[in-house]
Amino acid sequence: MKAVKFAVIVGASALVLAACGSKPTTSSSSSTSGAAGGSATTSSSKAFTACMVLDTGGVDDRSFNQSSYAGLTTAATANPAIKPSYVSSNSQNDYAPNLTAEVNKGCSTIIAVGGLMGDAVKAAAAANPNQHFAEVDASSSGANVYGMEYNTAQGGFLGGYLAAGMTKTGKVGTWGGLNIPPVTIYMDGFYEGVQYYNRTKGKNVQVLGWNESNQKGGTFSQSFTDQNKGKTISAAQVQQGADIVFPVAGGAGLGAGAVAQSSGGKVMVIWVDTDGCESAAQYCPYFLTSVTKGITDSVDKYVTAAASGAFPTGNYIGTLQNGGTGLAPFHTFDSKVPATLKSELDQVKADIISGKITITSPSQPK
């Protein structure tokens, strides 16, 4: 009794704070609730329910969960018949039950996020051969599973080449969130890009924080969220002479932005995964460019194609050629990057696509 009274008082007083508006005249709250929940689709036969099972970290992780779900919502904005929804996982124990729950829900397609979910997706796909699946960051594990992988070493290569061409101190730095392949593949590409620049130009630009031939070494923050650690590591690399830093650590990389900000324009940052001027706009003046991973775009394309009835099959590998990885615009640095360097970057890009330049990173998707 008392608890109920107490709860009502708390609830009501909280509502008071935001309750001064008036009822919208046209809306009927019952019809919007179903769409918002993402589950009431029985009424419309044309609805395409696209359900996403996220990896740990939540939908707002500024990393692959967020990029993946953004692809789903982009597709849904363009095609209102697509009804997006997601469930998140708290640990790997949740993968299988989440997939089962989504299968039972009757989703038109289920998009799993993260390579670690591969085993669970494979089992769920085998148990439900008529259910369409897709998986981000993994290769296809069955006829009804569409795999999406990204060779971000190619984008990282361009970033490394650019950094080597832009550095004034002859030293560039990179560091990662964790020593795992989806992270180190960027660092490999960056490292190789710098080496390629040194070879073709006869220069000796050094890379701090990573050496591709020593995959166990390297500098890592052990966190994708701790900005202070990111700041400490970036400041240490600047201290050692680096004037361009490439953090591959999601939100922790924002610490590099803070270091660049306080350096008074001496230090530049290359952002990762998304265009930093959009995802971390506060540090846009310090972002030389960003090495992108086209998760949003490829999920968007998959869902859009699937909703039209043509489920893509097999594997998608994001490359420079198909826009699945690459460099974002230079934004504020557009006028400061020499035109010759820009044309060299175009040439390097063309050479990677044609196979003239081979990238050796062991983390590349096969």
Partner 1 sequence: MTEVAAPTSALPEPGGPDPAAPVRRRRALGDNTIVVTLLAFVAAMVVGAILIAFSDPATRSASAYFFSAPMDTLRAAASAIGRGYAALFEGAVFNPTTAARGTVAGIFGPISETLVSATPLILGGLSVGLAFRAGLFNIGGQGQIVAGATCAGYVGFAWHLPVVIHLVVAIVAGMVGGGLWGALAGWLKARTGAHEVITTIMLNYVAVNMLGFLLSVKGFQRPPYGQAISNVVDANARLPHLLGSSLRVNAGLFLALLAAYAIHWLLTRSVLGFEFRAVGANQNAARTAGMSVERSYTRVMLIAGVLSGLAGVTQILGTNSAITGDIDAGIGFDAITVALLGRANAGGTVLAGLLFGALRAGGVQMQSSTGTPIDVVSVVQALIVLFIAAPALVRFLFRLHGSGAGAGQGLAKGWNG
Contacts with partner 1, residue ranges (CB under 8 A): 1-4, 6-7, 10-11, 14-16, 18-24, 27, 29-30, 32-33, 36-39, 51, 56, 85, 87-88, 90-94, 96-98, 100-102, 104-105, 115-116, 118-119, 127, 178-182, 215-216, 362-363, 365-366
**Distance of closest approach, residue 360 Cβ to partner 1, in angstroms:** 14
Nearer Cβ to partner 1 (151/296): 151
Contact assessment for residue 272 and residue 291, using Cβ atoms and an 8 Å cutoff: yes
- Residue among 130, 127, 108, 109 at smallest CA distance from 119: 127
Nearer Cβ to partner 1 (198/215): 215
Nearer Cβ to partner 1 (10/281): 10
**Distance of closest approach, residue 166 Cβ to partner 1, in angstroms:** 31
Partners of 268 in beta bridges? 244
**Distance of closest approach, residue 96 Cβ to partner 1, in angstroms:** 7
d(CA 164, CA 198): 8
d(CA 27, CA 308): 30
Find the length of the chain.
366
Partners of 117 in beta bridges? none
Kindly state the helix (H) or strand (E) to which residue 84 belongs, with its residue range.
strand 82-87
- Residue among 156, 132, 159 at smallest CA distance from 302: 132
Nearer Cβ to partner 1 (211/215): 215
Nearer Cβ to partner 1 (90/200): 90
**Distance of closest approach, residue 259 Cβ to partner 1, in angstroms:** 26
Which residues touch 73 (CB under 8 Å, ≥6 apart)? Answer: 84
Nearer Cβ to partner 1 (91/239): 91
The per-residue b/e assignment along 165-195, b for 16 or more CB within 10 angstroms, e otherwise, is: bbbeeebbbbbbbebebbbbbbbbbbbbbbb
Q: Map tokens 């660092």 to a residue.
A: 187
**Distance of closest approach, residue 8 Cβ to partner 1, in angstroms:** 9
- Residue among 151, 147, 149, 120 at smallest CA distance from 314: 147
**Distance of closest approach, residue 217 Cβ to partner 1, in angstroms:** 12
Q: Which two tokens stand for residue 227?
A: 């900005």
Nearer Cβ to partner 1 (21/265): 21
**Distance of closest approach, residue 20 Cβ to partner 1, in angstroms:** 7
